[in-house]
Each structure stands twice: as structure tokens, then as C-alpha cells.
Chains A and B, each alone.
Chain A
Amino acid sequence: GAVVSQHPSWVICKSGTSVKIECRSLDFQATTMFWYRQFPKQSLMLMATSNEGSKATYEQGVEKDKFLINHASLTLSTLTVTSAHPEDSSFYICSATGLGYSDTQYFGPGTRLTVL
């Protein structure tokens, strides 16, 4: 099946610093990747959709200057949380779809971000 990895699996940082999270499709070409955040005991909330080689499309209410998304290749997308604050602490999950997988999203294992 389609495998998606995410790195790091957890990160702790100080307030005001930036954190980069990588999402990789390991065995397929991901034409589209999605970034979600999930607070404890809540559902997945879509932050943005990124297509390879083009700018990400952000959901309403998500600050594009704070959550920088880059999808430079068909196997890698990155999310950078800039000037992180404690309220940015959350579980960030990426998913990917690709050629032949246009409907199904395959999820990465998630990154738990804690901002002190």
C-alpha cells in the first residue's frame, strides 16, 4: 500500500522559534498533499492543500505567513511553523494522494509539536 512518513515524530521548541515538519510519500508520487492539525479529542482540521510545484491553498482562518508550506517535489512537502507560540502546540498530520490514488488520502504518522 501507499506509505507516508513524517519527520520528526515529536518536537519541543521555545516560543518564538520556527519548526519544520517534513512529509514524504515513500512508494508513490504524491501529486497532492494535505496538512491537518488535531487538538486533543477533536477531529482533524484541514489547514492547507498543496500541489507539487504550485502554491498551497490555505483554509479560511489559517495564516499562510505563519504556516509556510512547500511542495517542491512529488515525494516531499514541508510545513514550517514560524515564530511558534504555545497555542500552536498540536498534533500535525499530513496526508497524500497520487496518481491512481486520487480519492484515498494516506496519512503520515503525525508530529506532536509542543511550544514552551
Chain B
Amino acid sequence: GENVEQHPSTLSVQEGDSAVIKCTYSDSASNYFPWYKQELGKRPQLIIDIRSNVGEKKDQRIAVTLNKTAKHFSLHITETQPEDSAVYFCAAQDSGTYKYIFGTGTRLKVLA
């Protein structure tokens, strides 16, 4: 089955700097990779996703890149703001069952 690793587990950046979170997956057949942001005690919220037929996707300050050959994908947040502080989870959708396999999460702290 699919296995997803996520790094780093914690990340502190100064406001205005960029943040990068990386994930690797094991199942080459996986074809959908969403990223979720979760604030303390709240539901995970989809912030961006990418499908395997695309190498990069951007939405304002957020971008995701996918390298199918290396089986890794990354979240890039530019011009970080304090409200970006949260836990970010990557996931890979299992090709056979459509289940999500989540990474372990990255706690991002943006310092004002």
C-alpha cells in the first residue's frame, strides 16, 4: 500500500519569507495529491491539490510541484503571513481504494 513521508515536522520562518514542505510517496500509481491546512481544533481545509498529469500548480501565494519520477511533491508558500501559521498535511490518494494516505504533518510558525 501507499506510504507518505513528510518533512520537516516543524518549520519556523520570518514573516515575508518563503516556506517549503516536502513529501514523498511510495506508490507510483497514485495520481492525486492534496494539501490540507489545519488550525488547532479545526477541520483540515484543502488549500491546493495536484494531479499526476501536471508538474506544477499555483494559486496566489501557494504552489505545489510534483516530480513523478522521484515520487515527491512539495508545497511552497511565498510571502508568508502570521495567519499561515498552522499544521499542514500532504496526502496521496491510493490508486486502488481512493483512500488518502496522510503525511505526518508540518507545524508551520510564521514569526512576525
Q: Which residues of A contact B (CB under 8 A)?
A: 32, 34, 42-44, 46, 49, 91, 93, 97, 102-110, 112
Contact = CB atoms under 8 A, between A and B. Distances in A.
A107 B103 contact: no
B32 A103 contact: yes
B81 to A, nearest CB: 23
Instruction: Please indicate which of the listed interface residues B44, B93, B99 has the most CB atoms of chain A within 10 Å of its own CB.
Output: B44
Contact of B93 (A93, A103, A110): A103
Contact of A102 (B97, B98, B103): B98
A49 B99 contact: yes
Interface of B: 32, 34, 36, 41-46, 49, 51, 89, 93, 97-100, 102-105
A46 B43 contact: no
Contacts of B98: 32, 97, 102-103
A32 B97 CA distance: 11
B34 A104 contact: yes
B93 A107 contact: no
Given A104-B46, A107-B45, A43 B99 contact: no
Nearest to B107: A41
